[in-house]
Each structure stands twice: as structure tokens, then as C-alpha cells.
């Protein structure tokens, strides 16, 4: 399975009124890591996979200035979908864990098959 680690830093814009990350920050970081994973795997198709399902669990707070890493990998590839498992770690501590399922759509807006080259590039031959 092909994976990627994306470094992130909690910026002021990522925080809520309590000084912790706003929940949407983790989603942005995961999406950035997903696109970096695809680029690192040599894939150029980055925009034809709208989100179908996202689950997120928060285990430890992150604050302004914290440095963390997003680890991501394609954990399952279906006929028309890819599911990514991801987590945000600060100094090895699991702070956020999530899963994102995307569906490939064609130019007609309908689901289309994930091709063999993409499966192989993501470690799912």
C-alpha cells in the first residue's frame, strides 16, 4: 500500500475561539495530503473524485503553532471509489483519525471505474 506523510503547522486561521483547531482544518489537511499522495504516485487526475463520505474522530487537541503530520494511504479501492485512511499526529501522538471515501466521476457526472493504472499506483493491483 502506497502512503504519504504531509507535514502541517497549525496556523491562526485553523483555530476556533478556544484556540484549538477548528474541525474543518483536519479535513483541509487530509485533502492536501491526499493530493500530495496522488502526485507522489505519479497521478495527475486530481479533480474527478468528489467526496461521498467522511468520518473524523478527535482524540487530542492541536493548538496554534503546533507542528504535526498527516499520514494517508488508500485503504480500499472499489469499482468506482477510493477510501483513504488518514491520521494527524503530533510528536507521535494520534490527535485526529479519519476516513474519506471519494467516487470517481466521468465528464457526464456519473460514477466511472477506477482504472488499473491508478489502482497499481496506489498499491492495490
What is the per-residue pLDDT across 33-67, written as a single tens digit (0 to 9) for each?
Answer: 999 999 999 997 677 899 999 999 999 999 999 99
> What is the tens place of the pLDDT at every residue in 12-25?
999 999 999 999 99
List of domains in the chain:
3-121 (3.10.129.10)
Q: Which of 16, 66, 108, 115 is catalytic?
A: 16
14 is catalytic: no
pTM of the model: 0.93
The residue written with cell numbers 499522495 in the block is: 37
Amino acid at each position: 500500500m502506497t502512503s504519504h506523510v504531509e507535514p502541517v503547522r497549525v496556523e491562526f486561521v485553523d483555530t476556533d475561539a478556544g484556540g484549538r483547531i477548528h474541525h474543518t482544518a483536519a479535513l483541509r489537511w487530509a485533502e492536501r495530503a491526499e493530493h500530495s499522495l496522488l502526485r507522489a504516485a505519479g497521478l495527475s487526475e486530481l479533480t474527478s473524485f468528489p467526496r461521498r463520505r467522511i468520518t473524523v474522530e478527535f482524540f487530542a487537541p492541536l493548538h496554534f503553532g503546533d507542528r504535526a503530520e498527516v499520514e494517508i494511504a488508500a485503504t480500499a479501492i472499489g469499482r468506482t471509489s477510493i477510501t483513504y485512511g488518514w491520521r494527524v499526529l503530533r510528536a507521535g501522538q494520534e490527535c485526529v483519525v479519519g476516513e474519506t471515501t471519494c467516487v470517481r466521476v466521468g465528464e457526464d457526472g456519473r460514477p466511472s471505474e477506477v482504472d488499473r493504472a491508478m489502482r497499481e499506483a496506489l498499491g492495490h493491483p
